[in-house]
Structure 1
C-alpha cells in the first residue's frame, strides 16, 4: 500500500522504528497513521538515522497494512521524501571479500557475516515443521502474541538467533575460546574450547556452552538453558510458522560451523533437543556470506516501548 502524509513524530529505535503521519483522506478528513519500520541496525545500513524525518515533512510510505482493517497501522518497506529520495531499500553489502591464501583450518570461520535467505521454510499447509510433543503442540496452537517475549525485549534464543534477517554475525576464534557476536539484541556468546562448560553470557538465558575444533569445523554445545516462552521457535522466524514454541530446562543445542566456497560462505548446522516439547531432535541450518571486517556493527538498543507494541502490528 501507499500512504502520503505529514510527519508528526519519528522515533528511531529497535526493535521497530516508529513514524506518525497525518494523512488527508479523499473526503478531506485527517487520519493519524502509525507506521512501523525496521530496527536501528537495518535502517542505518539503509541510510536512515534519528534525523531522517522532522515534524511537517511530507513523506510517502510504501509498505504492508495491518491485517486489522479497522486500524491505521502499517509496516514500512520504503520511504520517499518530498524531494524524491527513496530511503529504506535493502543495500547490498560487499560480499566479494576474499581470504588471504594462508588462512587455513578453523581460522577460515573467522570474520563478519551476513545471513543468506532465512535458511529454513514455513510449511505451506500452516502446520508447524517441528516434531512437537503434546505439550509443544498445545503451546504452539494456543500462541498469544500479547504474551510473547517479543513484547518485553527478551532476546530470541538459539537457534532462532541464527535466522534473524538483515543482521550481521561476527565470529572470532583463539586457542582458548570462540566469540560469537549477534548484532540482533547485541548478544555475545563466549565459548570455551576443550574445557568445562561455562555460562555463555552474563544474563544466563543462553545456557552453558563449551566448544571444540574438529578438523576445520567448530562445534558448539549448549545446555542448562532456563525455560523460555520462545526457546525453540519464534512466531515470525522459521521454523516457528506463526507461533512461539517454548523450551524447557532440558533443551540442548549443538551447532557445527563450517566454511564453504573457499571461505566465502559460512554454514551453521544445528540440532535441537527438548524431550518436554519435542518428540525427537530437529535439525536445521543457516548460510552466511562473508562481508568486509570493516562493515560497521550497529548497536541494537531494544526499546521497551517499541517492543510493547509488538502485538499491535498484527
Structure 2
C-alpha cells in the first residue's frame, strides 16, 4: 500500500475543538466516476487517467471475469443508472459537489448527488454485527492532521465506477482526508474485500474547494436508465 505524505501548510484553519477545518464545498476534477483505471474516450465517457495506485485492481480470477461481464452490461446494470446510491468511495468522485460540516465528535458529509448524507462519528466505536447499507457505517478518528474514516457494513449492490468494477458485502474502506492547503484535500481510499480481491488496493485523488461566490449544493433529481434511453435515441 502506498501512503500519501502530503505537505502541510502552517497556519491552516482549525475548528473550535482544535481539529483541522475541512469544512466547505468540495469536488473532484477527474473521470473516476466513469472508470477508476486509465481509459480512452468512448461514447458518453471522456478519456481519463486512473486513480488506482499502479493502475491495477487485484481481482481474483472469477471476479476479473465478472468485471468484464459487468462492463458489457454497464448501460443497464450499473446501479447508478437505476438511481441507487453510488456507495463508498464512489460517491466522493461522482461529478457533483459535496459539503463537509464538522462539530465536536462528528463530521457530516452532504452530497449533491441523490441528496445523500453520511454522518461520521469520531467519538464512538463501530457497531457490532453486519447490517447492509448502501453507504455503509462510518466511524472516524484523527491521526495528526488526517481524518481517517473506517467504513464497513456495505451491501453488494454498488460499483466503484461505470466500468463494472465491483465488490462484495465484505467491503471494507479506509478513507483519509488531509487538507494540504486552504483549497485542497488529499483524499485516499484503501479497499479491502477478501471475497473479490487478492490484496488491499488504494485510490488517490485531490478534492478541490469550489470557489464560486455563494456556492451551494443544488437539487439533484435522478432519472432511471437515462443513459440507456439516450443511447437508443442515437
TM-score (norm 1): 0.56
CA separation of 1:312 and 1:253: change in aligned 2, threshold 3 A: farther
What SS does the aligned partner of 2:27 have? strand
Aligned partner of 2:178 among 251, 254, 258: 258
CA separation of 1:159 and 1:117: change in aligned 2, threshold 3 A: same
| Gap runs ≥5 in structure 2 | 1-10, 41-54
Residue aligning to 1:112: 25
Relative contact order (alpha carbons < 8 A, sep ≥ 6): 1 or 2 greater? 2
- Aligned pairs, how many? 197
In our comparison, the structure showing a higher alpha carbon Rg is: 1
- What's the offset of the Cα at 1:273? 0.7
CA separation of 1:117 and 1:227: change in aligned 2, threshold 3 A: closer
- What's the offset of the Cα at 1:106? 3.2
CA distance in 1, matches of 2:120, 2:135: 11
- What's the offset of the Cα at 1:182? 1.8
Residue aligning to 1:221: 150
CA separation of 1:115 and 1:305: change in aligned 2, threshold 3 A: closer
Alignment of 1:147-226 (within 5 A): 147-165=77-95, 167-197=96-126, 204-226=133-155
- What's the offset of the Cα at 1:250? 0.8
CA separation of 1:246 and 1:291: change in aligned 2, threshold 3 A: closer
1:137 is aligned to 2:64: yes
- What's the offset of the Cα at 1:176? 1.9
Aligned partner of 2:169 among 236, 246, 249: 249
Q: CA RMSD in A?
A: 2.7
TM-score (norm 2): 0.74
Residue aligning to 1:289: 208
Higher percent of residues as strand: 1
What SS does the aligned partner of 1:142 have? helix
CA separation of 1:169 and 1:136: change in aligned 2, threshold 3 A: same
| Gap runs ≥5 in structure 1 | 1-100, 236-242
Residue aligning to 1:122: 38
